[in-house]
Amino acid sequence: MIDPVILQQGSDWRAQAEVFDEIFFVFLALGTLVGTIVVAYTLWNVYKYRDDGDRSDEDFDAPVVGELPTGQGGPKAKKLFLSFGLSAIVVISLVVYAYGLLLYVEEGPDAGGEGDIEIMVEGYQYGWAYEYPNGHTERDELIVPADQRIDLNVTSRDVWHNFGSPDLRIKTDAIPGDYNEIWFKVSSEDVQAQGGEATFDVQCFELCGPGHSAMKGQVTVMPQDEWEEWYASTGNSSESASIDSSRVGLATPSGVSA
Ligand SMILES: [Cu+2]
């Protein structure tokens, strides 16, 4: 059994995608194993107890509808309790295991830690606006550093939206006047694997009007030092038009706070 507390300690964190993939694999593998055993056992019994024409009706101990085969203490009762017992062990283990991992997905690693970056996300008809701790705002593209926990505080300016990024396995409602928190973190290994900058699609998952299907955005994850350079350069501007030029090194030495 995996303890979510252990997972949260130190830098030993896991991305949601990894956790969900593991849960999916465990359920698939166990389901296949149990399914194979049950179907094989059923077929074997179908063959073993087939009507081959030479069983006399008198000494055939057929079960009656509604009768539990427990009173006899024989092999029937044994099988019944064995099958109930094994099923219970499998189901309870899966519930405890999956619940522990889902608690981790809810809370994330090192919740409330020093390095967390909290970003406001506001959905509107039709797009996404992001506000960084220094007051800088971005439209549609969310730029964040690798290896750092990103907390998103999601809300809406007008109607109900739903902020989600399938590859990051995050998704939450964006509702006017309401704030939903989600977190994610992308490792620098993943960023390197994608050529120094990782991108993830963002989409609206709540039908919110005629422009809903065009309500797309992107999460861009860059190495920490590059991001810090970019973030420092955002101190005085709040328009996304200059993102690309600022990314190539127009960093101001004014620090990260507004
Ligand atoms: Cu929407």
* Cα of 219 from ligand 1 centre, angstroms: 17
* Cα of 199 from ligand 1 centre, angstroms: 20
* Cα of 184 from ligand 1 centre, angstroms: 21
What string of DSSP letters covers 124-151?
A: ETTEEEEE-TTS-EEESEEEEETTS-EE
Work out the burial of residue 9: count CB atoms within 10 Å of its CB; fewer than 13 is exposed, 13-18 middle, 19 or more buried.
exposed
* Cα of 182 from ligand 1 centre, angstroms: 17
In this prediction the pTM is 0.71
Given a cut of 90, whether residue 61 has pLDDT beyond it is no
* Cα of 158 from ligand 1 centre, angstroms: 9
* Cα of 78 from ligand 1 centre, angstroms: 57
Given a cut of 80, whether residue 182 has pLDDT beyond it is yes
* Cα of 205 from ligand 1 centre, angstroms: 7
Confidence at residue 203, expressed as pLDDT on a 0 to 100 scale: 95
Given a cut of 70, whether residue 190 has pLDDT beyond it is yes
The mean pLDDT of the chain is 82
* Cα of 142 from ligand 1 centre, angstroms: 17
* Cα of 217 from ligand 1 centre, angstroms: 11
Given a cut of 90, whether residue 235 has pLDDT beyond it is no
* Cα of 204 from ligand 1 centre, angstroms: 5
* Cα of 161 from ligand 1 centre, angstroms: 4
Helix (H, G, I), strand (E, B) or coil at 9: coil
CATH topology of domain 117-247: Immunoglobulin-like (2.60.40)
Q: Which of 26-40, 110-124, 151-165 has the lowest mean pLDDT?
A: 110-124
* Cα of 258 from ligand 1 centre, angstroms: 30
What string of DSSP letters covers 187-247?
A: -HHHHHHTTS-EEEEEEE-S--STTGGG-EEEEEEE-HHHHHHHHHHTSS---GGGHHHHH
The two structure tokens encoding residue 166? 């399938």
Beta strands of 23-149 (E only): which ranges? 117-124, 127-131, 137-139, 141-145
Amino acid at 43: L
Q: Which of 39-43, 72-76, 233-237 has the lowest mean pLDDT?
A: 72-76
Residue 85 or 6, more confident: 85
Q: How far is CA 62 from the centre of its chain?
A: 50
* Cα of 58 from ligand 1 centre, angstroms: 71
Confidence at residue 240, expressed as pLDDT on a 0 to 100 scale: 44
* Cα of 164 from ligand 1 centre, angstroms: 10
* Cα of 144 from ligand 1 centre, angstroms: 22
* Cα of 162 from ligand 1 centre, angstroms: 6
- Structural element, H or E, at residue 153: strand 150-156
Q: What percent of the chain has pLDDT over 90?
A: 53
CA angle 40, 41, 44 (to 5 degrees): 85
Within 8 A by CB and 6+ apart from 118, the residues are 133, 151, 152, 153
Given a cut of 70, whether residue 49 has pLDDT beyond it is yes
Q: Hey, which residues does 22 pair with through a beta bridge?
A: none
Q: How confident is the model at residue 58 (pLDDT cuts 50, 70, 90)?
A: low
